[in-house]
Structure 1
């Protein structure tokens, strides 16, 4: 039998494929990533915010106690390897919208599951004068954002130098699978891992999975006043990038599912922004992406029901920056050591859709 050139072929270099690649690299496994910089990518549009307390009801993010410490360790390690900052630890300020919301949220902070993620210091609202916070607000800690374009570009450069990355358009017809291995463009691999985001819906091996993709748009604005180091969250987020620039988002829409920023989505965001912001600004740009979300809001990870050398790591949705590192570790432990995957993310939960 012809020897393998690499153990793994990773298709897709978004936050999912990149996280898997780093874990395989640290485990001493050989791989090649195929990425196509000409294709749109939700990872490059996303603001990259990690937030342990989400939603109108201040709910702790699923697996937060595992995800957040591991994400900080993972991204901190990458900063050392890559020699640049990619993680920005930034608290999130949530202005209360009413006295009722204030009372509800403050009561919730006594919950021992919630309290580690809430600042004990006084309300910082007065330090953020450009935000409307008539009822005060809540400061969420252990939060921040990942500079995803910087992370993806630096990772690609690192892997390219080690001949572990290939810039190419992936065509399924170029890939040949047998029980003995995977062949793609003259190279042989033991397994293929698809991490294609939204484009997995066009993948013949995994198009039976219940993706429910969602389009989102964000804005970039230049403010008339200097910004403080707080992410603001009140229905939308306002993420400071520098002293006078911020990202604002995000919308949720299902029709049409395309990558074009629209005037309607811009108007929707600006309407909400004007309610939250009491300072002038200039619109600097808009971007849209398609989130690879899933029917049950849990990722799609695992091995094909029929083909043991065809795998998927996808469906990370809106919380990809925190889910990707921890679940990539779990997935690589599954591939390398046979450790069981969390059944809530394992695609086995949907095998009935494949065999019906």
Structure 2
């Protein structure tokens, strides 16, 4: 089999890149063994404002201009809703939060999303004595449904191999790569935290950060917005809610823990005051980078070997942008932005 590309990994980064290949009539084969679950357990939220400090997310506004049409096209393609838009309410914990909100909401970019008026209304079931700031233009992509749908789609097209990729079987020839009976002009690795085991790119400073979430059923909580405090609570419908997330920099397993659950319970009970039942707990390793920028670019010695990784906690927003940038670099010789290019880590 001869193809233009081998793509290893089908999280949000891999999916966005493959969609670019399809749109540009490039042939490919994808390897995906479902060993990395960060996209599947991610909250999937998009929000261009860092609510801890009331500052803009790096290139967040620009990323959304590309990301939202990208997911709309996928919804049309599969006749399935993936993008669930809702407002976000930031719960204030002090009068100072309110003052900082007013100041930030008047700044360029932030003014697109942060409403200047502060809400003081009582929300049944929610502890919010200092009021709330409200954000528009936010929402959630159901990454679980999207990835499952896309994997089924590629399976039907015979473009998905569900075996683990064995690096030792990759033959690097002068003008192509060969893996078993597959020959490809180029190869792109988008394996999430799995990159740490990749012998070609494991020199990059990818720091896996474990995140845990719980799904609860709370009949007494009736909110149709995302509630953000020290954690997030967003509605799934029928009084089910996703709650998260923890940040653990030492545990590199994808297994839910009792410690993670207890941390979420402790924080949740400072946010809501109604009974609830935990239905599910999940965990995954986010592919994070020390400078909080993606890892994109060509291997320093192996030509036509590329990496597309390090999307961290905001993969929904970043994936379409970096996938398009990498494609344009490969096919159209358009230079990558220095901020995301892996050359920044070369000595």
TM-score, structure 2 normalization: 0.97
Runs of 4+ with deviation above 4 angstroms: 122-125
Shift of 1:177: 1.1
1:153 aligns with 2:179: no
Shift of 1:125: 5.8
Whole-angstrom CA distance in 1 between matches of 2:223 and 2:212: 24
Residue in structure 2 matching 1:117, options 102, 105, 113 = 113
Secondary structure of the structure 2 residue equivalent to 1:119: strand
Secondary structure of the structure 2 residue equivalent to 1:292: strand
1:198 aligns with 2:211: no
Secondary structure of the structure 2 residue equivalent to 1:319: helix
Q: Deviations over 1:281-306 (max 9, x none)?
A: 01112111111101111100000000
Whole-angstrom CA distance in 1 between matches of 2:102 and 2:134: 11
Residue in structure 2 matching 1:292, options 287, 293, 297 = 287
Q: Paired residues, what number?
A: 347
Shift of 1:127: 6.8
After TM superposition, the structure 1 stretch with the greater mean CA deviation from structure 2, 49-58 or 332-341, is: 49-58
After TM superposition, the structure 1 stretch with the greater mean CA deviation from structure 2, 126-135 or 197-206, is: 126-135
Aligned partners of 1:227 and 1:243 also within 8 Å: no
Q: Deviations over 1:152-176 (max 9, x none)?
A: 1111122222222222221112211
Shift of 1:112: 2.5
Aligned partners of 2:210 and 2:246 also within 8 Å: yes
Residue in structure 2 matching 1:97, options 93, 101, 104 = 93
Whole-angstrom CA distance in 1 between matches of 2:55 and 2:161: 41
Determine the structure 1 residue equivalent to 2:220: 225
Q: Deviations over 1:120-175 (max 9, x none)?
A: 6x655637322212111111111111101111111112222222222222111221
Secondary structure of the structure 1 residue equivalent to 2:269: helix
After TM superposition, the structure 1 stretch with the greater mean CA deviation from structure 2, 4-13 or 299-308, is: 4-13
Shift of 1:226: 4.6
Secondary structure of the structure 2 residue equivalent to 1:276: coil
Whole-angstrom CA distance in 2 between matches of 1:90 and 1:124: 16
Residue in structure 2 matching 1:17, options 14, 21, 24 = 14
Whole-angstrom CA distance in 2 between matches of 1:15 and 1:246: 23
Residue in structure 1 matching 2:65, options 50, 57, 69 = 69
Aligned partners of 2:208 and 2:249 also within 8 Å: yes
Secondary structure of the structure 1 residue equivalent to 2:228: strand
Residue segments in structure 1 that go unaligned for 5+ positions in a row: none
Whole-angstrom CA distance in 2 between matches of 1:29 and 1:311: 16
Aligned partners of 1:92 and 1:233 also within 8 Å: yes
Whole-angstrom CA distance in 2 between matches of 1:67 and 1:48: 15
**1:297-336 equivalent positions in 2, closer than 5 A:** 297-336=292-331
Measured on the aligned residues, the alpha-carbon RMSD in Å equals: 1.4
Whole-angstrom CA distance in 1 between matches of 2:31 and 2:42: 21
TM-score, structure 1 normalization: 0.94
Secondary structure of the structure 1 residue equivalent to 2:7: strand
**1:1-150 equivalent positions in 2, closer than 5 A:** 5-37=2-34, 39-119=35-115, 123=118, 126=121, 128-150=123-145
Aligned partners of 2:36 and 2:191 also within 8 Å: no
